[in-house]
């Protein structure tokens, strides 16, 4: 089997796993894909293509929980995000690829530590300034690395929401942030013909993965699946830091 075929198969498998995770949990596509794709492709290109695919995955999942969407949950984090994404995209253009790779590893590790903390050890902060700050920080991380999830996931986890409402808030936020990021990247000339081609041949794997994840939502133990994802992400993040 040629090296190019191996790379294509590895890319498709990575996209499937990442989108399946998104379908089950409502988040995680960017973190999982950004932990895997830079292992065998350019980190800057990986960040750009993940941002485009993220719009597909979050939009698909949002449709499945749209009845639970609430404007009051969505507004403040989204306003903060609009200020953060341009700064993140600017950093993506300026930073060296190896630096981005290591920063991605650090960001994923921090996210995993936060996700593993027992709920009783998390400060309960629910006011709108914290929602605004979470959205702004997520915007910076999403703009630069395509993994804007951790801050706004941390904020959402502090709310007393049922799983469908939690999932609807995250997916509506991520769908908006991904669309905004794509518009900015188009304006900056970062989305090339090569990126468009990679998007087209990777799209079937993403659609199949996210639909499979949506179908499994409610059948799998969300906490058990999340722990498996977190442990896997820690290993991958350490790999990004070492290699």
Tell me the pLDDT tens digit for each residue of 175-205. Answer: 898 899 889 888 888 888 888 888 898 999 9
Phi-psi region of 28 (alpha: psi -120 to 50; beta: other; left: phi over 0): left
Mean pLDDT calculated for residue range 145-158: 75
Which has more pLDDT, 222 or 52?
52
Q: pLDDT at position 121, please?
A: 46
| Residue % of the chain over a pLDDT of 90 | 7
| C-alpha distances in Å from residue 193, one per residue of 38, 55, 80, 190, 198 | 20, 18, 31, 10, 9
Q: Where are the beta strands (DSSP E) in 32-189?
A: none
The answer, yes or no, to whether residue 109 has pLDDT greater than 90, is: no
Of 51-65, 90-104, 115-129, give the range with the top mean pLDDT.
51-65
Q: pLDDT at position 188, please?
A: 83
The answer, yes or no, to whether residue 122 has pLDDT greater than 60, is: no
Q: Find where tokens 């190019």 sit.
A: 4
The answer, yes or no, to whether residue 125 has pLDDT greater than 60, is: no
Confidence class of residue 123 from pLDDT cuts 50, 70 and 90? very low
Lowest mean pLDDT among 9-13, 83-87, 123-127, 181-185: 123-127
**Cβ atoms 84, 140 nearer than 8 A:** yes
Tell me the pLDDT tens digit for each residue of 52-81. Answer: 888 888 888 788 888 888 888 888 999 999
The answer, yes or no, to whether residue 220 has pLDDT greater than 70, is: no
**What are the structural domain ranges in the chain?**
3-242
pTM of the model: 0.73
Q: pLDDT at position 208, please?
A: 93
The answer, yes or no, to whether residue 85 has pLDDT greater than 80, is: yes
Q: pLDDT at position 138, please?
A: 85
| C-alpha distances in Å from residue 106, one per residue of 101, 138, 159, 241 | 9, 15, 26, 8
């Amino acid at each position: 089997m040629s090296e190019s075929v191996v790379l294509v198969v590895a890319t498709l498998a990575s996209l499937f796993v990442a989108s399946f995770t998104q379908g089950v949990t409502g988040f995680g596509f960017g973190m999982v894909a950004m932990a895997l794709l830079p292992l065998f492709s350019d980190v800057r290109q990986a960040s750009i293509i993940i941002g485009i695919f993220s719009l597909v995955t979050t939009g698909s999942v949002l449709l499945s929980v749209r009845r639970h969407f609430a404007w009051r949950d969505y507004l403040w984090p989204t306003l903060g995000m609009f200020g953060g994404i341009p700064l993140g995209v600017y950093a993506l253009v300026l930073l060296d690829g190896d630096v981005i790779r290591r920063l991605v590893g650090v960001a994923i590790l921090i996210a995993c530590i936060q996700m593993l903390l027992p709920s009783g050890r998390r400060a309960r902060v629910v006011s709108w300034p914290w929602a605004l700050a979470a959205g702004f920080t997520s915007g910076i991380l999403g703009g630069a690395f395509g993994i804007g999830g951790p801050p706004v996931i941390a904020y959402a986890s502090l709310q007393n929401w049922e799983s469908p409402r939690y999932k609807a808030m995250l997916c509506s936020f991520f769908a908006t942030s991904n669309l905004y990021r794509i518009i900015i990247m188009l304006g900056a000339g970062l989305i090339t013909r090569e990126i468009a081609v990679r998007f087209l041949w990777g799209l079937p794997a993403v659609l199949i993965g996210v639909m499979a994840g949506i179908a499994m939502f409610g059948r799998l133990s969300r906490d058990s699946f999340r722990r498996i994802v977190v442990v896997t992400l820690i290993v991958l993040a350490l790999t990004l830091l070492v290699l």
